Amino acid sequence: MKRTGPVLLVVCWVALLPWAPCAGQGPAGEKATLEGTVTDRVTGAGVRRVRVTVIPVQVLDSSPANLIDVTTDVGGRFAVRDLAPGRYRVMAYHPNYPRSWRHQGRIGEIEVSLGPGEEKRDISFAFTPGATLGGRVLDEFGEPLPRCSVQLLDFLHYMGRKILEPAQGNSTNDRGEYRISHVSPGRYYLMASCSNLMLPSARPLAPPETELEPDVAEAYGALLYPGVEDLSGAARLSLAPGVELGGLDFHFRRVRVVTVRGTAVFPSGGTPPEAVNLQLIPDDPLARITGQRDTRSDPKTGKFVITGVRPGTWKLMGSDTDSPAAWLARVELTVGTAPVRDVKLELQPALNLAGTLELEGERGAEQGKMQIYFSALDDAQPSSPPPATVGENGGFSIQGVFPGTWIVNVMPLPPNSYVKSIRLGDQESAGQVLVVPPAAAGPLRIVLSANGSEISGVVEGAPAGSHPSVIVVANPEGDLSRNRHLQRVARVSGGGSFLLRGLAPGEYRLHALETQDWTVPQNDDLLRALEARSQRISVHEGQKSSVQLALIPAAAIEAAQSQAQ
């Protein structure tokens, strides 16, 4: 997002009356005006027919808080008049420009504050034109393959993990052609998948199978450009603003796929009363994007059939989370070129954990408004159990917890508090990471401390006034994938000041970041690249610290993101 130019600051001496009349502002009842322009970042020309939406965030009079839509003129100009004093979110959108940059956050969105009678005419948006790419998807004979999916892949950082996932894509037409337009500039892998096209068996004269589905067949899988099956040989495309790339073709060959058959049963040997949801998940993270196979068991017999399975290692997961008593089964499968038969999935019941929530220190919080949340630390869970509401006496019961590793969160936390300890039976957890064994019986005891640490300070170089794009992030040192829940984020207010509350004792890194991209605080590689600009701090329970931080500007973050890619 393009930074606006210098803005004249108007200072009022009456701090308790934020919209008291000052020089340059009218009486408290006067309406305000908002004007600006939208330009193309590459050509500098105004962009016409941009939809500009103004949404009230906090309006200081009784005016109806309705959103307002206007459209830019031929020169890219827009104006919104008769606005009540207050704070507004201004968003600009054009279908021919990328809505967001995966590495630079959402574009075309800012927040502004308007005083009585104020005329703010310097709002500006600079839209970066997207890239376009295309090509064809062909079979081994050079014939077009229709209805294939072609996707750009990008890394997403979430909860301390680096995940490769689709960013944008399209499907091939009857000529095997694809075109992906308005792509945010960046670096991507390009993947084509035709796994939905099941082909006849290569053995047409072989005896028919005893089941309706063939046990052996041929299919097209997935390829990364320029025609490889793994990231080590794949090209990473650098897409600049407005660039057009053509001739990015894929040539597929048939691969052998097999069928997996089995039965879902209870430990007693009985058949589940309902159909069981089944997921066959490849161990290869890349294959998970297109290779996961989902089906359901027969509700009468418990039998299941999964077709089109490629050779490799897989996790077969069966779950019944819809019934009052939840069940789960997991089994590891190695699939070769032969069909897999007689897989036995033994469903194990989920656990119901009863416990108590205790609060040390101040007792100002209402326990009855808090809830306990379990979030899976890995991908071995079909879903998270529903949150449990804490009673007035601190008691709770969380239903449907499967054995595994979970992050336990309490929300909303009382002011300046943190989760101090968690104990399941005689097992003390490591922070908020709880390992639930198959035979866990509880009770679950969660202790909160209302004596969290506070870090306050000032960010040098932060824009004057309240600025929603400047944040301060406190990241715990160590394994962020297991400690991400300890992270605290605060927005910088007027004068560059900030306040972080409710920190657990430990070591932290402080970054003052100019960004509106919510993935930046999650990006461990990026934060490590910016470590020289950060500040390390150690806090103890109840400690109040004051620091001065240097702003890490958006340009430095973008440069580090480019290097991290």
pLDDT of residue 13: 27
Tokens describing residue 72: 């830019």
More confident residue, 361 or 382: 382
CA distance 483 to 479: 6
Q: List, for residues 481-516, the tens digit of each pLDDT value.
A: 667 788 899 988 877 889 999 999 999 999 999 887
Indicate the pairing of strand 186-193 with strand 404-411: unpaired
Which of the four pLDDT bands, split at 50, 70 and 90, describes residue 155? confident
pLDDT of residue 375: 86
CA distances (Å), origin 485, targets 159, 371, 411, 435: 8, 16, 12, 16
Please give the distance of CA 562 from its chain centroid, rounded to a whole number.
20
> Which candidate, 410, 315, 300, places its Cα nearest to that of 366?
410
pLDDT of residue 479: 67
Least confident of 120-124, 318-322, 375-379: 318-322
pTM for the complete prediction? 0.73
Ordered domains of the chain (ranges, CATH)? 32-127 (2.60.40.1120), 131-253 (2.60.40.1120), 263-288+295-349 (no CATH), 351-449 (2.60.40.1120), 453-564 (2.60.40.1120)
Q: What angle do CA 24, 27, 33 make, to 5 degrees?
A: 60
pLDDT of residue 299: 84
pLDDT of residue 307: 87
pLDDT of residue 499: 94
pLDDT of residue 103: 43
Residue 275 CB coordination number (10 Å): 17
pLDDT of residue 239: 92
Instruction: Please report, as a single letter, which amino acid is at residue 496.
Output: G
* Residue 317 near residue 296, CB atoms below 8 Å: no
* Residue 224 near residue 230, CB atoms below 8 Å: yes
CA distance 304 to 345: 10
Across the chain, what does the average pLDDT equal? 82
Strand partners, 346: 265
Q: Please give the average per-residue pLDDT across 453-462, as a whole number.
A: 90
Q: Using the structure block, give the residue that is written with the tokens 């046990």.
A: 215
pLDDT of residue 6: 35
Strand partners, 278: 295, 318
CA distance 54 to 83: 10
Instruction: List, in order, residues 6 or more apart from 212 with CB less than 8 Å away.
Output: none
